[in-house]
Amino acid sequence: MSKSKTAAIVLAAGMGTRMKSALPKVMHPVAGRPMVNHLLATVQTLGVDRTVVVVGPDMDGLRRAVAPHATVEQTDRLGTAHAVAQARPELDGFDGDVLVLYGDTPLISAETLARMLEARRAVPAPAVVVLGFRPDQPGSYGRLVMGGDGLEAIVEAKDATPEQLAIPLCNSGVMCIDGARLFGLLDRVGNANAKGEYYLTDIVALARADGLPCAVVEGDEAELLGVNSRTELAVAEGIVQARLRRAATDGGATLTAPETVFFSHDTRLGRDVSVGPFVTFGPGVTIGDGVEIKGFCHFEDCTVGDGVILGPYARLRPGAEVRNGAHIGNFVEIKKAVVEDGAKVNHLTYIGDARVGAGANIGAGTITCNYDGFLKHHTDIGAGAFIGSNSALVAPVRIGDGAIVGAGSVVTRDVEANALTVARGEQVSRNGWAIRFRERMAALKNQRKKEA
């Protein structure tokens, strides 16, 4: 194969005991997507030819999440070199560049990985390129010992001399390796250490002993954050949210209180969108141009057209489609329904499994009764229809164009276009009854006081 080809091995077999979870560590979400999928999306932008994900036993959910990429199983967790070696069957005969990455490091940038590939391909074509960084607190990170001709060694902190501990350049674990030499180096890695594990870092010393050069590319500490606990997961979420907020404002959106707005990795906002405080975008949300989103709204898997007004306290659930110029007001929930151009659903309403026609007006407290305890049914509200407040539309039912449903109605049959339907109990009035009622109850209350 041509040396310009690239493969990626993603190590994802760890359960992450500090997460205290039955979910594999790399499956914990950041901005609505498993952290391993953040990394895979970044790798994809590099045009990588093959990607192999190393998983642990009984991680079928992880296998599905990373599909269609190949997966191999590390049954016995015997160290990082052992994990990389499991990818041998998938990379048999591959002699391009191999990136070794970690599924719990979701923030690494494509630009950094591209610089590593450039360094691998540049003279003197180092056998191993290590990604280093300079943390504020080096602590237990391995140190990168540099010499006149590049990287000389990686020294673990516990094995380092005081002079080596003073080195500010640390090992992130990420590497770019000559694929023609990778598995030959791995075959020579031993496990004569306190843990009895096979460490990938040992290949640097092995390559140097063979007279092969090794090199270092530096990255930022923030992008190399490894997520090993719920606390670190929250830190990663904060970093990603800051990036997404910046991207939203750079793209032409106004965020009134950016620190209170939460995005998903795939949120799409049009130009001149305004977003009030405490708004949450779940996965799969697309917002058109000129949309006003008031505070405390929640959206997931929905589409919003141009010039729409939403909220406050509006909720768009999966399958909601709100078209141009529509209004969705306070405490309104839309689920698997289309609200067409210019329609208004302004107050305290649930619209589920329905169509609301263009220009229709839905009164406060309206409910589309879409579920009979077994099946979901559809409600169709025609263009220009008016649904009075506190009405219940029992699906399946159709309200024709221009029809009016009187307030408080329970509609169980179709309504013709431009008809008036009132479906409620008859109002009965008894003049003077209230006075007599109050007098009778006051007398009864007094009598009980005397008896007490």
As annotated, the binding site for acetyl-CoA includes 364, 370-371, 389, 407, 424
Instruction: Quote the CA–CA distance of 156 and 201 in Å, as a whole number.
Output: 9
Residues near 289 by Cβ (< 8 Å), separated by ≥ 6? 270, 271, 272, 273, 306, 307
The neighbouring-strand residues paired with 55 are 73
From the candidates 298, 347, 377, 378, which is the catalytic residue?
A: 347
* Cα→Cα distances 227→18, 107, 125, 340, 357, Å: 10, 10, 32, 44, 48
Instruction: Quote the CA–CA distance of 158 and 160 in Å, as a whole number.
Output: 6
Reduced 3-state DSSP string for 195-244: CCCCCCCHHHHHHHHCCCCEEEEECCCHHHCCCCCHHHHHHHHHHHHHHH
Count of CB atoms situated within 10 Å of the CB of 278: 16
Q: Is 347 annotated in the active site?
A: yes
Nearest to 207 by CA among 228, 178, 250: 178
- The pair of structure tokens assigned to 297 is 């709204």
Binding-site residue set: 11-14, 25, 74, 79-80, 102-104, 142, 156, 171, 228, 317, 335, 350, 361, 364, 370-371, 389, 407, 424
Omega before residue 258 within 30° of 0, cis: no
Helices (H), 67-193: 80-85, 110-121, 162-165, 179-187
Count of CB atoms situated within 10 Å of the CB of 354: 24
Instruction: Quote the CA–CA distance of 285 and 280 in Å, as a whole number.
Output: 10
DSSP letter for 244, please: H
The neighbouring-strand residues paired with 171 are 132
Binding-site residue set for UDP-N-acetyl-alpha-D-glucosamine: 11-14, 25, 74, 79-80, 102-104, 142, 156, 171, 228, 317, 335, 350, 361
Binding-site residue set for Mg(2+): 104, 228
Active-site residue set: 347
